[in-house]
Every structure is written in structure tokens, then in C-alpha cells.
Amino acid sequence: MGQAFQPVDSLSSESSRPEGRFAATIGRPTILRSAIRQVGFPDFPRAHTDGADANEAMAEAIDCLGSSIAFAMTDKAIVPKPSRLKRGQKLVPVPLWIVGKLALYWAIRELGISQSELARRLNVRETIVRRMLDPNHDTRQEKIQAALEVLGKRVVMAYDDAA
């Protein structure tokens, strides 16, 4: 689950508000505290995790972010777009297992269309669209890409150096 990539609206490599990567505060260990690094997300105030070192904290942050997004989607709640990065924060990418579903979830909400309407545009049953948006259902990425294209959207892969 540690793999992740960013869906982007444009092909620019950096932006003050990058799509598909969320700001996180990763605490630094001090003499008074254990070596554990606490992680929190300003966009998901109830999402917290930790790691024994910086690498483990980032891996746990990616997993925690994916779970937080999945829970919000399951509850049909608003999944916020990433807020601007502030000093001292790190960017945490959305995990690969949910990035396509999140892009589709955002597109449907942004355009204000129903799942029924998307199903009509795709010429499929509404249950197919519900499954596409279900974080617990495996959906072929080709189906999600096709749905995004019908909505005039796409997911673009980007990668960069770890750390």
C-alpha cells in the first residue's frame, strides 16, 4: 500500500496547491519525547498516525491518508481538495489504490452530476458506477479512466524523488 502517485490538473511539476498530495505535519523527536514521529493532516483533522522514524512515518501517513479518504467517500462526505503547503509541512501522496476513485469522486461533485447521470453517459447500470466509487471494490483503472474522460477529466501520473 506504500505506492502512490498524484493526479494533476496541469503538467507543471510543482504548485503551491498540488492535486493528489496532502499537507501533513510530521513531528520531530525531541529529547523530552520518544523517537516516535507523530503525523497529522490539516485537511483531515481526525486523521493521525505515527512512525518510529521519518520513513516509517511517511509510509504510515500514506496509509492513513488513503483510509481517511476511503472513509469520507464511503460516508458520501466532502473530501477536501488539498490545502496549501505551509512551512514545516510535508506533502503526502494519495495512495495508488484510491487515487482514481478519488479523482472520479471529485469530478462528479465538481460537475454536480448524479451517479445515475454518469451511468447514462457511460451506457452502464448505476450499480457499475456505485462500484467505481466504492473504495472497497476493486475496479479496473481503464473503467475509471473511461468515466473520467466522459466527464472531461483525466488522471496524469507523476513521480519524483522520495524524501
Q: What pLDDT shows up at residue 123? A: 97
Contact present, 1 and 19 (Cβ < 8 Å): no
pLDDT band at 31 (very low <50, low <70, confident <90, very high): low
Contact present, 73 and 101 (Cβ < 8 Å): yes
Q: What pLDDT shows up at residue 6? A: 45
Phi, psi of 30, rounded to the nearest 5 degrees: -125, 175
Q: pLDDT tens digits for 97-149?
A: 999 999 999 999 999 999 999 999 999 999 999 999 999 999 999 999 999 99
Please tell me the CATH code under which domain 21-95 is placed. Answer: 3.30.160.250
Domain boundaries, the chain: 21-95, 97-150
Query: pTM to 2 decimals?
Result: 0.83
Q: What is the CA angle 70-71-77, rounded to 5? A: 105
Q: What pLDDT shows up at residue 156? A: 84
